[in-house]
Chains A and B, each alone.
Chain A
Amino acid sequence: MNRLRYRKFVNSVMLGMTGIFTVFTVAVLFLILGYLVYNGGKSVDWNFFTKLPAPPGETGGGMANAIVGSAIMVGLAALIGIPVGFLGGIYLAEFGGKTVGFAVRYTADLLNGVPSIVIGIFAWTVIVVPMKGFSALAGGFALSLMLIPIALRTTEQFLLNVPRSLREGALALGAPKWRVISSVVVPAASKGILTGMILGIARIAGETAPLLFTALGNQFWAHSLNEPTNSLPVVIYTHAIAPYDEWHRQAWAAGLVLLGMVLLTNVAARWILARGITVQKG
């Protein structure tokens, strides 16, 4: 085989392989979705959304408290994380001094890189131990720590993207700086910021490790934020490793519900960003 034919052969083979690798990766996504839809779809029923867990060996239970527990803790995390990230991001983009700005950005990146299990340890030392109990508060706090860097970076990034001309125009009209920010810059960046926040919330909704020893678990409804609380990711874990077929069923159903929520949120957020739906400042 002459040199050129050999090179052309290698060309086809290697390029073909890259194509195969891509197909493989995309196929994995479809396999995951397919598996979950198949196994989860069989198991999701009305009971799943409305009933509390049943003792092992009995059928008819559900994960209602896990769904609500997750919602509550994610809500708590958003309550803490979104304002901190949003306002902190405004500081970095609009007011930031050099040293303070650098310190905040650096530590936010650091916080972002903390393994989620270590975040759980921190929440344990700071909330569970002093309050002598596992709680949704501890779980929500842990999740908020994971949301803050995402919210911060998103806000700063999209605020910086707003063209200077917009700011200068408003300033030229005599508006004070804070007014410029609140009435002009933030609304202009709101679409991107909103997308980032939504993506961040979708991310923390699926986190398990920070909840393992902060919120623990609960077969019943938690009556206050100060009690152990069930959550979707944690029940998926405990039910998947158990021997009961009924529990496996529940794990698949919970997996489908969780994945469905996460993926739909992701798709919706990116769609918002791409299509350019402007959000009114509410």
Chain B
Amino acid sequence: MKKWNTLLLAALAGIGLSGVAAAQAINAAGATFPYPIYSRWFDAYHKAHPSIEINYQSIGSGGGITQLKAGTVDFAASDRPMTDEEIKECKYRPLHFPTVLGAVVIAYNLPSVKVDLKFDAQLIADIYMMKVKKWNDPEITKLNPGVKMPSTDILVIHRSEGSGTTFIFTDFLSKTVPEWKSKVGADQQPKWPGGLGEKGNEAVAGYVKQTEGAIGYVELAYVLQNHMQSGIVKNGAGHFVRPTIDTVTAAAAGAAKSMPADFRVSITDAPGADAYPISSFTWMLIPSTIPDANKKTAITGFLEWMLTEGQKIAPEAPLYYAPLPANVAAKEKAQIKLVK
């Protein structure tokens, strides 16, 4: 008898839940880098179109691409472009849609230091190669004269899983520091010389926020939403640049002019006096063929919204993602038509 009761309850629960307004559910997964803006977008879009629910799981760029290849999600998100091999492994060729521009920020936790610390690529590389071990190391004080640095250990934090944010970070270091390029290289999950691994931008930010002496690389929105300290980084032109909407947009200026047709491009270490050197596009990876007509309509509808309304939301506080350059957005609108 108990068995029948349970069965009945389960059936009712299933029916009851499915009765919720014949909603169109879309499953997506991927990067943690743009998660703050994506969750805001999907929430706003759902309020505007209550029958469309886009469930986004922030498991990392590597995870998004893997699930897209496996066919378990309707679309994915990544901070690094897919390689040709990865594209071949997908059932339907994925199209890259840049969504916003973001900045990878050097976040740290030093309550006694009241100013923003200056970093350059060599210093960041040396810290992550475990050569610079204490906060009062001469390499740091040289760049930050007059700042009283504590003698505590530097606790290095990186990502524990395949991460697009890591790719952007290591891509920047590989372009600017030859030793990094040969020893570690640019990848979503390199062999880290040392330090702690945390899962997702969320956990890196979480750990740095709670741990004095910690340093990590996270997207700007996490730093701003959680009132964390961040560094000023020297760019290719020799200027120390803060990560802001303007400096990130400046980094994209060159790429905006010469954007390739498939939108796969890297803008780290971009030229320009005001360019923030660790900037990047982040992409939504949409299959070029979506068999389910309802899903296709929902997804293409969202993409159009994203390129117009979504771009207005991106730079709002405390998100501060830079919107796409106008000509890039226009090209993408044309690409939407390619989704069948």
Contact = CB atoms under 8 A, between A and B. Distances in A.
Interface of A: 54-57, 68, 71-72, 75-76, 78-79, 82-83, 128-129, 132-134, 216-225, 227-228, 238, 241-245, 281-282
A245 B202 CA distance: 12
Given A132-B70, A134-B72, A241 B318 contact: no
Contacts of B43: 54-55
Interface in B82-139: none
Contacts of A216: 29, 57
A219 B199 contact: no
Given A134-B72, A242-B202, A243-B228, 15 more contacts: A68-B13, A71-B13, A75-B10, A79-B7, A82-B3, A128-B72, A132-B71, A132-B72, A223-B23, A223-B25, A224-B14, A228-B57, A241-B206, A243-B209, A244-B226
Nearest to A75: B10
B36 A225 contact: no
Contacts, number: 105
B200 interface: yes
Interface residues of B, number: 44
Contact of A243 (B25, B53, B226): B226
7 smallest beta-carbon distances between A and B, as pairs: A55-B39, A243-B205, A242-B202, A241-B203, A243-B206, A220-B53, A282-B1
Majority secondary structure of chain B interface residues (helix, strand, loop or mixed)? helix
B300 to A, nearest CB: 20
Contact of B10 (A68, A79, A242): A79
Interface string B7-38: 10110011001101001010101000001100
A49 to B, nearest CB: 16
B42 interface: yes
Contact of B206 (A78, A224, A242, A282): A242
Given A56-B225, A219-B42, A228 B27 contact: yes
B203 A223 contact: no
Contacts of B29: 216
A189 to B, nearest CB: 15
B17 A223 contact: yes
B222 interface: yes
A242 B208 CA distance: 11
A72 B209 CA distance: 36
A214 B14 CA distance: 18
Given A82-B3, A128-B72, A134-B72, A227 B27 contact: yes
23 contacts: A55-B39, A55-B42, A55-B43, A72-B10, A82-B3, A128-B72, A133-B27, A217-B57, A218-B57, A219-B39, A220-B53, A223-B23, A224-B18, A227-B25, A228-B57, A241-B206, A242-B200, A242-B205, A243-B205, A243-B206, A243-B226, A243-B228, A282-B2
Contacts of A82: 3, 6
Contacts of A227: 25, 27, 55
Contacts of B57: 216-218, 228
A228 B55 contact: yes
